[in-house]
Amino acid sequence: MTTLIKEGIYSVGVVDWNERHFHGYTYVTKRGVTYNSYLIIDEKITLIDTVREGFQKELIENIKNVVDPSKIHVIIINHIEPDHSGAFPDILKICPNAKVYGTEKARQGLLKYYGVCGDWVTVKSGQSLNIGKRTLDFIDVPMIHWPDSMFTYSAYDKTLFSNDGFGQHYATNKIFDDEVNFDALMDESQKYYANILWPFNMLVSSKLAAIGKLNLDIKFIAPSHGLIWRKYIPEIMQKYLYWSSHSCKSRVAVIYETMWNSTEKMAKKIIGGITSEGVEAVLFDITKNDRTDIASYMLDAKGWVFGSSTHDGEMLPVIAGFLHFLKGSKAKRRKSFAFGSYGWSGEAVKDIEDTISNVTSFEPSLRVVYSPTQDELDKCFQAGKSFALKIKNE
């Protein structure tokens, strides 16, 4: 898709309508994905980021709709992850005289991935490149979310090319934030933050503060995934400040995996107790919900409750995988408790606690043998109520 987004700047990236599993199998992309690339027509024709391997022909055709690709003078690599750099070797072949700009980590990464980095110029924060009417300023943003990551800012266009920052996995033929449903856009933004940027909260927070001190006039934020922000920049900035500060709402996610429904019966009583205190809660059977959606809900949920039957002396495998994802989230300020049924040994609850004690603190757990009795179900309900009171009163 080739679209003029403002004077001299074209969106030449591609829409991957059918991508459903991004980052291997870690991120379910129900709405698909876009790999955005931007072409600036100035004295030095400039390409900002490329696209995923497999889409290089489409990218080149999109560029050809505007200009002969061999006339590209400058390629800016904001980030080397293959969803943005996969087409880079083919682009280099058709514009061998282009100079390529990026961080030192990007240079090293491109060489490791592809064995080429072109006529490379290493840049860092504080450095700029004049391409004619425009001067492009580089802002390195290491670990947001790879070591090589950087943003590029054009004061002439009042545009921040933010690569993964402020992205959403949202396949659409629309270009701007105000052309799609606002709630869907913010929902995908939260999902993206939870599944890509959550572990880097501290860095996001400090980088936002540092960028704020630059006093950039930003009227457009052009990420390399999803829609360009022009109307809702204050809203997405406020959200990034909120998410990156580990802020939480008084709400609870109850996540469980069950073998013979006993743990499920416990889960339903626990959530009944939580909601009886007026606290919002959602029940997720981990085998029937996308972990991507669950993570998004949990991003700002103060309460995390986990249940698992015990199987061969361990928690069940699907919830185990999800807890390992959470372990890497570096979340803070959460409160949890674990529960589950078992036949003879009952290690699952301790297994749960041990796995993610680095990101949450646990209340005393609840275990039942085989199927819960009415008395045990009443205890589950009461445990839910007590947990809700702690969530409300903190």
Binding flag, residue 16, ligand FEO (CB under 6 A): no
Residue 191 contacts ligand FEO per CB under 6 A = no
Using DSSP's 3-state secondary structure scheme, residue 98 falls into: coil
For ligand FEO, the closer of residues 148 and 347 by Cβ is 148
- Amino acid type, 71: K
The shares of helix, strand and coil residues in the chain, as percent rounded to the nearest 5, are 35, 25, 40
Which residue number places its CB atom closest to ligand FEO?
81
84 contacts ligand FEO (rule: CB under 6 A): yes
Q: Which stretch binds ligand FEO (CB under 6 A): 77-85, 234-242, 285-293, 308-316?
A: 77-85
Does 79 sit near ligand FEO (CB under 6 A)? Answer: yes
Q: Indicate if 83 belongs to the active site.
A: yes
Choose one: 78-86, 279-287, 310-318, 381-389; the region binding ligand FEO (CB under 6 A).
78-86
Residues facing residue 100 across a β-bridge: 75, 120
Give 19 or 347: the residue with its C-beta nearer to ligand FEO: 19
Secondary structure (DSSP) of 324-366: HHHHTT---S-EEEEEEEESS---HHHHHHHHHTTT-EEPPPE
Determine the 3-state secondary structure of 85 from DSSP. helix
Rounded to a whole number of angstroms, the minimum distance from the CB of residue 331 to ligand FEO is 20
Of 16, 19, 49, 83, the one binding ligand FEO (CB under 6 A) is 83
Q: How far is the CB of 164 from ligand FEO (least distance, A)?
A: 4
Here the tokens at position 349 are 């609850």
Dihedral sign of CA atoms 231, 235, 240, 241 in order: positive
The stretch near ligand FEO (CB under 6 A) out of 79-87, 132-140, 176-184, 318-326 is: 79-87
Burial tier of 209 (Cβ tally within 10 Å: 0-12, 13-18, 19+): exposed
Among 42, 81, 157, 376, binds ligand FEO (CB under 6 A): 81
Q: Least distance to ligand FEO from the beta carbon of 135, Å?
A: 26
Is 137 a known active-site residue?
no
Q: Does 88 bind ligand FEO (CB under 6 A)?
A: no
CA distances to 129, 175, 346 from 365, rounded to whole Å, are: 58, 49, 11
Return the bridge partners of 119, or none. 99
Residue 221 beta carbon to ligand FEO: minimum distance, rounded to whole angstroms: 15
Strands (DSSP E) contained in 224-300 are 249-257, 280-285
Closest distance to ligand FEO from the beta carbon of 70 (Å): 27
Contacts with ligand FEO in 91-150 (CB under 6 A)? 145-146
Q: Identify whether 164 is a catalytic site residue.
A: yes
The residue (of 46 and 168) whose beta carbon lies closer to ligand FEO is: 168
Strand, helix or coil for residue 48 = strand
Distant-in-sequence, close-in-space partners of 220: CB < 8 Å, separation ≥ 6: 5, 6, 157, 158, 159, 160, 228, 229, 230
Report in angstroms how near the CB of residue 52 gets to ligand FEO at its nearest.
9
State the catalytic residue, choosing from 193, 225, 297, 342. Answer: 225
Active site residue 300: no
Phi, psi of 112 (to 5 degrees): -70, -40
Q: 228's torsion region: left (phi>0), alpha (psi -120 to 50) or beta?
A: beta
Q: CB-wise, 109 or 303, nearer to ligand FEO? A: 109
Site string for ligand FEO, 142-161 (x = CB under 6 A): ---xx---------------
Point out the catalytic residue in the list 19, 49, 83, 140: 83
Report strand pairing: 361-362 vs 314-315: unpaired
Instruction: Compare residues 165 and 307 and give the one whose CB is closer to ligand FEO.
Output: 165
Nearer to ligand FEO, 126 or 328 (CB): 328
**How far is it, in rounded angstroms, from Cα 283 to Cα 255?**
6
Partner residues linked to 151 by β-bridges: 139
Residues 208-237 that bind ligand FEO (CB under 6 A): 224-225
Task: Single out the residue of 164, 177, 300, 353 in contact with ligand FEO (rule: CB under 6 A).
Answer: 164
CA distance 319 to 325: 10
Annotated catalytic residues are 23, 79, 81, 83, 145, 164, 192, 225
Instruction: Give residues in contact with ligand FEO (CB under 6 A).
Output: 79, 81, 83-84, 145-146, 164, 224-225
